[in-house]
Structure 1
Amino acid sequence: MAHPFTVREIARQAGVSDATVDRVLHGRPGVRAVTAGQVRRAIQELESQRHQLGLTGRRFLIDVVSDAPARFNTAVRRALENELPLLRPAVFRARFHLHEDWTLAGCVAQLDRIATHGSHGVVLKAPDVPEVAAAVERLHAQAIPVVTLATDVPVSRRLAYVGIDNRAAGATAAYLVSQWLGGQPGSVAVTVSSDAFRGEEEREMGFRTAMRQLEPDRPVSYLAGSNGLDANARDIMARALADDEGLAAVYSIGGGNAGLLAAFAEAERTPAVFIGHDLNPDNVRLLREGRISALLHHDLRQDLNRCCRILMRHHGALPEDQAGEASKIDVVTPHNIPAGL
């Protein structure tokens, strides 16, 4: 485990004691396997951020806590690590706590560990539930600011929300569905990963409001509970297709698009319109194949850069400025996929 980092640096990155790190580095007993894994991951994170650590300026250690499918969490990690060197002269280090299908208790416990060990700030994607709001309150009590990413926990002491206007995104999806369906009959299915994510709820509300204005007689069904996972999404859509022979379009808010489209293929049906979110590799492949009509996309790198700058302003490292606007929403079709994807 050769590396250039001090025991203290690794301990702060891993959120454990110096003695624990020393035992892991020298292969001594008395450390749980899960804790040893934390230390190894901390060294990997420091390695990936080594260039940033060589810069001069104020130093910030932040935590990124995300309950989301692996494809989103991977995109968040890559986006932040690409932005870190651009934040000079400040020096940012990030600890990542990224989980797919996380239990609520596990998420809250992680936030409480951060409150205990300390941090310059938390970037949080988590359900909007009282338990999470209470954990944010405990972080606030320890002078640790929280910025919510992509989905908000508005009734909490979080410092700011960074992401798109989710109601506007839902309304945009409704406009696209209505335009592309034209006069074709059929219902629309709206799928979400969970009822607990505020951002998904707001997208769904924006979609329904716009559809009532555009096509008040077109049925809209609500399909929840996939957790953004393909297998779950496939089962949920299969049941919906069995119950509704006229299902013509899908607005996929919560992901699992490969699973949703697999259910259509198994039923030997094809959606006339399919709108999703985010340019992750699975979605780009499906878009290129023409199986997704359009993706609503926003730049995660810009979002995470803004998260860091909000935390810097909170700590007095940047001057105050006006509140930032919501992230820009791009409509990406098979004909304008950004280069390099």
Structure 2
Amino acid sequence: MAKVTIQDVARVAGVSVATVDRVLNRRPGVRSVTVNKVETAIRDLNYQPDRIAARLARSREYRFCFVLPDRAGDFWERINEEVRTMAERMAGERVAITVKRVDVFDGELLASTLDSIGDVHDGVAVAALDHPAVREAINALAARGVTVVTLVSDVPGSKRMHYAGIDNSSAGRTAASLMGRFLRGLTGKVGLIAGSLALRDHIERQFGFEQVLTHEYPNLQVLPVRESRDDWRKLEEMTAQLLAEHHDLVGIYNVGGGTRGIVSALEAAGRAKDVVLLGHDLSDANRKALIRGTIDAVINQDPGHEVRSAIRVLIAKADNVPLIESQERIRIDIFLRDNLP
């Protein structure tokens, strides 16, 4: 069957092509009865607008900015690489993507970076800190007509349009269920380490983990959470301290990044096989530690899916078309050494 064109829609609706274009792009000046005719024709013909062709025809370029952490780390380097790959791919579709890197643990600095983004941008994707200044900066962008998508970590009280990331509370509960099953029948303490308790994703993972482990596995005691800022060197020191202070330590859950520091400390202490270790994100270092057996399970989110989802949402908003919600749902993966991709 021949592809349905905008001319077909105009003919069936009994209007001009220019009127159909105004309806498709939600521009004013079209009577409601005419809008209904055009929308009916679109549904009846199953017309799918060629958004790329429309941008090329209008010489319209979308400009998006990704605001990402400036710290080193396997997961965020993968995110950054995915953004670079998509920027190259989307350039031919008149979508320009730039990256700003900033210390996202510093709320005032992150807010200042968001405030500096000019109106030349149609949309922003930000790895966000749940901080009052950041929330206000997101709201200010939205008020200026700039679409904001939060990436990996959310600010739900803000006027961001969409969150591209996993359900972090579910991820924490999943980690607790895995820990409880791995340690079934044993009694002891479980270390809990977060990158920052100002990051919403880390807070939600911690809450979910403590909720399940405390209520369903009374044989295990969760130790007070420690903050590492995802620095693997700090994680190495923290793990050594946990081992020295708690001889009955039987498990560690790392909510954030830098798990290789925990791996290093456990292996140096000869405790790699008797302390259950759960972490996030299937980095190269975590993959190797899984195979060696130092890490017992990795809870993973697909950085490529998250970046592509953020871009799809920003484009959908710019094109004024609805989202396909199921396409933007980021799943939680659980990897053991036996099912590594």
Q: Same fold (TM over 0.5)?
A: yes
CA distance in 2, matches of 1:92, 1:219: 51
Q: Which residue of 2 aligns with 1:233?
A: 235
Equivalence for 1:81 = 84
CA shift, 1:331, in A, is 0.8
**Partners of 1:274 and 1:294 within 8 A in 2:** yes
- Correspondence list, 1:179-258, <5 A: 179-258=181-260
Q: In the aligned structure 1, how far is the partner of 2:146 from the partner of 2:75?
A: 25
Aligned match for 1:159, one of 158, 161, 174: 161
Q: How many pairs align?
A: 284
Q: CA deviation at 1:319?
A: 3.7
Task: Please state how far the C-alpha of 1:104 moved relative to its aligned partner.
Answer: 3.1
Percentage of pairs with the same residue:
29
Written as runs of structure 1 = structure 2, the 5 A alignment for 1:21-100 is 56=56, 59-67=61-69, 69-70=71-72, 71-84=74-87, 90-99=93-102
Considering only aligned residues, what root-mean-square deviation do their CA atoms show, in Å?
2.5
Equivalent AA in structure 1 for residue 142 of structure 2:
H
Partner SS state of residue 224, structure 2: strand
Q: SS of the counterpart of 1:219?
A: strand
- Shift in Å, 1:225: 2.1
Q: Would the alpha carbon gap of residues 64 and 241 (structure 1) be closer, same or farther in structure 2, given more than 3 Å must change?
A: same
Structure 1 gaps of 5+ residues are 1-51
The structural deviation recorded for 1:223 is 3.0
Picking from 259, 274, 277, the partner of 1:274 is 277
Counterpart residue identity of residue 65, structure 1: V
Normalised by the length of structure 1, the TM-score is 0.76
Residue 336 of structure 1 deviates from its aligned partner by 1.8
Residue of 313, 316, 320 corresponding to 2:319: 316
Structure 2 partner of 1:290? 293
Aligned: 1:118 with 2:103:
no
Q: Is the 8 A contact 2:119 2:146 kept in 1?
A: no
- More displaced 10-residue stretch of structure 1: 225-234 or 71-80: 71-80
User: Contact 2:149/2:162 (CA < 8 Å) preserved in 1?
Assistant: yes
1:274·1:292 contact (CA, 8 Å) conserved in 2? yes
Distance 1:286 1:133 in 2: 38
**What amino acid maps onto 1:131 in structure 2?**
A
C-alpha distance in 2, partners of 1:123/1:133? 14
What letter is aligned with 1:243?
E
Question: What is the TM-score when the length of structure 2 is the normalising length?
Answer: 0.76
Structure exhibiting the larger radius of gyration computed from Cα positions: 2
Structure 1 pair 119–197 and aligned structure 2 pair: CA distance change class (3 A): same
Residue 158 of structure 1: how far off its partner (Å): 0.9
**Is the contact between residue 56 and residue 91 of structure 1 (CA under 8 Å) also seen in structure 2?**
yes
